[in-house]
Copies of this chain bind each other. A is one copy, B any other.
Amino acid sequence: MDIYLDNAATTFPKPEPVINAVTDCMKNGAINAGRGAYPLARKADRLIEATRNSVASLLNYKDGQVLLSASATLALNQVLLGINWNYGDIIYTTSLEHNSVSRVLRHLQDTLGVKIITIPINAKTLEYDLEALKQMFNKIQPKAVVMTHVSNVCGLITPVKTIAEMARAYEAIVVVDGAQGGPLLPLEGVQEDVDFYIFSGHKTFYGPFGIAGFVTNGKVPLTPIIFGGTGSHSELLSMPEELPFRHEVGSSNIVATAGLYAACGWLQETGIANIREHERDLLKRTVEGLAEYRDVKMFISNNLENHLGTLSFTVEGYTAQEVGMILSQEFRISTRTGLHCAPLAHEFLGTLPHGTVRIGYGFFNTKEDVESLINAVGIIIDS
């Protein structure tokens, strides 16, 4: 079995209860939910509601509304394209966004004339310059702030709570892309300040593909961007006003929902903090090990508490693709190389055009995996 270090793309393997829930639902419950007049359909409805509650609870949105979607990308589009923008609206965002945010913002810029301003980060220390941001907000007031919770390229954690509080003073809309963060970094008391928190079922939630969504405090209305059947209010030819129907269209993916529900249970049982600290421990040891090699450049801040278990690095004399290929072919270590769908992040880090080698740790990685990686990189450098 190869060593899987691509958990930032999707966590793998999946916890046993998640696999079992998906299999069981495929066998015994893969029917269409939505106010069905028969027991299996009602059971599906209850499962969906229970999953909403679990997700809201894990993300600390006690009174939040969870809207389910097929992917975090789709959920981000539903939020960002659904907000009622006006020409010239100012949107602050980070340099570390995934294309699922930056391509949507670019589209808004091109079609609606919103203005994009970049939140300042020190490219050397990877520290957010919150003092400068405060002055920028004061000078050019934000209509919205759109920020990743954790960079999918370098694992850097955005101080979302602080920035969200600053933005709230201007009544700005706050959107957080939590695909790489929630629920591993639970947001404390942030429901008030973060209007939309997007989550991905198959990443840090340890669930299956096909289920994701966003949780909202309900303050900012969204216009639907996808139209279709809602299993309710079927008589209307426009999308119903009522949530979640307004934004949840088509057949519910009950199998993936069953997996996500099981994942929520597994997360609670295993303990969020245990998972987070395990991933971070692996990261710390990796940084320590790779720091021994002069030819390795890592893209990290001084304080590793500002990172989750994702690390980008380059090796002098090799492109990222070459390193990734050797790691895979000679050492059976699976990483993800290139731009990681985040060109602006690589522009910011100065790693264009080849990008970096990305290590993404998950809960099922071991200390041995880390040592194997460190040794392999050492051998590549010495060869």
Contacts and interface: CB of A to CB of B under 8 A. Distances in A.
Candidate in A10, A41, A228 with the most chain B CB atoms within 10 angstroms: A228
Contacts of A35: 338
Contacts of A32: 6, 9-10, 336
A328 to B, nearest CB: 4
A23 interface: yes
A31 B19 contact: no
A212 to B, nearest CB: 9
A312 interface: no
A321 B13 contact: no
Given A37-B324, A226-B77, A237-B343, A4 B31 contact: yes
A130 interface: no
B38 A328 contact: yes
A12 B38 contact: no
A355 to B, nearest CB: 8
Interface string A267-307: 00000000000000000000000000000000000000000
Contact of A23 (B19, B110, B230, B234): B19
Residue of A70, A100, A328 ringed by the most chain B CB atoms within 10 A? A70
Interface stretch (A165-173, A187-195, A246-254, A371-379): A246-254
Given A19-B27, A238-B103, A253-B210, A70 B74 contact: yes
A10 B253 CA distance: 11
A229 interface: yes
A143 interface: no
B37 A229 contact: no
Contacts of A249: 71, 73-74, 100
A255 interface: yes
Contact of A234 (B4, B208, B227, B343): B343
A13 B337 CA distance: 40
A235 B6 contact: no
A259 B253 CA distance: 14
Contacts of A208: 26, 30, 255
Interface string A200-239: 0010000011100000000000000111111100111111
B225 A225 contact: yes
A99 B227 CA distance: 8
A315 interface: no
Nearest to A76: B228
A68 to B, nearest CB: 12
A65 to B, nearest CB: 21
B237 A37 contact: no
Interface in A35-50: 35-41
A39 to B, nearest CB: 7
A30 B339 CA distance: 22
A84 B363 CA distance: 47
Contacts of A104: 227-228
A340 B251 CA distance: 12
A334 interface: yes
A154 interface: no
13 contacts: A6-B36, A9-B31, A10-B30, A19-B27, A37-B328, A40-B334, A77-B227, A99-B228, A104-B227, A229-B341, A230-B341, A234-B338, A236-B343
Given A76-B228, A235-B353, 6 more contacts: A6-B31, A37-B336, A38-B335, A41-B334, A99-B229, A234-B338
Which 8 A/B pairs are nearest by Cβ-Cβ distance?
A229-B341, A73-B250, A70-B70, A210-B210, A38-B334, A9-B32, A100-B228, A73-B228
